[in-house]
Structure 1
């Protein structure tokens, strides 16, 4: 199922500060630096991406917080490691791990990264803890996901007695401070602030009468694109394809997936119909990012299918969100669509965002020897209709 979040609406006046604080925290995390997270329940912690762990960074984290860190991972990753049984609980929820004798950098990487050596010895001394779903542990993993890193983070409760004024304490140490609520709201806030920033006529091979419109969130992050073919009329069901970017398939012509065929086939189909829209979303690898998609490819080469590989990394099988697509369609005046897709979950997700899907239009292409298993998995486990 596509990734979904049930979030409270944020006041519009709060949006710019919210996006900016999360954006700053993302860049700090990606640089291997420590971030301060404050939660509404009064909890506060220092956080670092698990994949950035080193002996020195762990020492620095412990000294700054004046407490020992836990390793926060998704329940999905914990299930893969055998640390918890599969249950009806949301697989995207977060659990905290502590190790007898403490965490070291090698243990962190083995527990968080399935491409490293199996953490056999670490599992024997691991204790699993439930955490507050609104607290710093959950927010830390959410921030790692936004940063397109492995969904695992080191989290140390701030026990430093000088930290009562948390904002001042963080500023004196040149640390980014972010509110957990802003992290939980980020995807909705970014989608709601999409604005048109550029538009140009771009004749395409199978659709000469085409415009490309770029939409940018208020934080200045990655743009989503609306490829408008012909003149779709507001009030009429438009033929629409929602396509998540795929560097390997769209640009390089990778044979491991059918993305390139779907992209070019959609342009051809919309052009032949006279009008419609292809929404090109900046959600590489079903929302996990290019680096993690390449990690998943390596796991697939070791025998996993495409969905299991994502879950081995700690992600849900599909992390995409469709709020940006709905926002763009509404801006174009298109509230009814005929959706080019083989994925019923995509129909349900877009409908849940307030867009009426009047028809699902089949969109399948022949397989090759490199993607036969991929397409079989999409059908057998992903519910795709071919």
Structure 2
């Protein structure tokens, strides 16, 4: 059952501070830890990716990196079908992909050529922390493209103990983005899923 939205709790200020810290980190080219719905990723603004912060991510986990772009940008690069223009897509990256190619994914003035190197097969729909990472880039007034490192639960737990990763809740980021876009959160409910026991359903409506 979806419960009506209640007034903000006393933690809303803390959530706002976490978002602001994450925005600052993203603008500095530092990793941000987004968590929620039983998932977690480390994210970098794609336009600021360099070999140093790329190596920093790779030291955390050997899991494959992914680029998350708006669907419009993916279509412009020839990486997604033109069946819809909204939302974002997640693209697998080859381990050896250089930082320059990742930056070009974000740069609207750049192209990848006819046969883009080091990119995975058909993009997946970005959801959860991946989608929130793009929303965070938009809130930071950056290009809406991010490099993400999906984390295993044990890796996420270790990352949350570190002070060099700005942690922020996925739901808080999406709520802030919706508010900035003129949407109002009207309901929220916990919806446990088989692979994500902490998943939440959040409903928004346009402003009057």
What range is the shorter-chain TM-score in? 0.7 to 0.9
Paired residues for 1:321-340 under 5 Å: 321-322=181-182
3-state SS of paired residue (2:108): coil
3-state SS of paired residue (1:123): coil
Q: Are the aligned partners of 1:37 and 1:179 in contact in 2 as well (CA < 8 Å)?
A: yes
CA distance in 2, matches of 1:102, 1:30: 25
Structure 1 partner of 2:55: 59
- Aligned pair count reads 182
Cα displacement (A) at 1:178: 0.5
Structure 2 stretches lacking a partner, 5+ long: 185-205
3-state SS of paired residue (2:123): strand
Paired residues for 1:135-174 under 5 Å: 135-159=128-152, 161=154, 163=155, 165=157, 169-174=159-164
Q: Are the aligned partners of 1:64 and 1:160 in contact in 2 as well (CA < 8 Å)?
A: no
Among 109, 112, 115, the alignment partner of 1:115 is 109
CA distance in 2, matches of 1:9, 1:160: 30
3-state SS of paired residue (1:38): strand
Q: Are the aligned partners of 1:66 and 1:160 in contact in 2 as well (CA < 8 Å)?
A: no
Q: Does 1:176 align with 2:166?
A: yes
Among 353, 370, 373, the alignment partner of 2:207 is 353
| Bigger-Rg structure (1/2) | 1
Structure with greater contact order relative to length (CA < 8 Å, sep ≥ 6):
2
Structure 1 stretches lacking a partner, 5+ long: 1-7, 192-320, 325-351, 355-386
Cα displacement (A) at 1:119: 1.0
Cα displacement (A) at 1:322: 4.1
Among 9, 14, 17, the alignment partner of 2:14 is 17
Bigger helix fraction:
1
The runs of 4+ residues in structure 1 deviating greater than 3 Å are 8-11, 99-102, 163-166, 321-324
CA distance in 1, matches of 2:55, 2:156: 22
Q: Are the aligned partners of 2:79 and 2:123 in contact in 1 as well (CA < 8 Å)?
A: no
CA distance in 1, matches of 2:107, 2:125: 21
- Using the size of structure 1 for normalisation, the TM-score is 0.43
- Using the size of structure 2 for normalisation, the TM-score is 0.76
RMSD between aligned residues:
2.5
CA distance in 2, matches of 1:188, 1:95: 19
Cα displacement (A) at 1:130: 1.2
Paired residues for 1:26-105 under 5 Å: 26-40=23-37, 42-87=38-83, 89=84, 91-100=85-94, 102-105=96-99
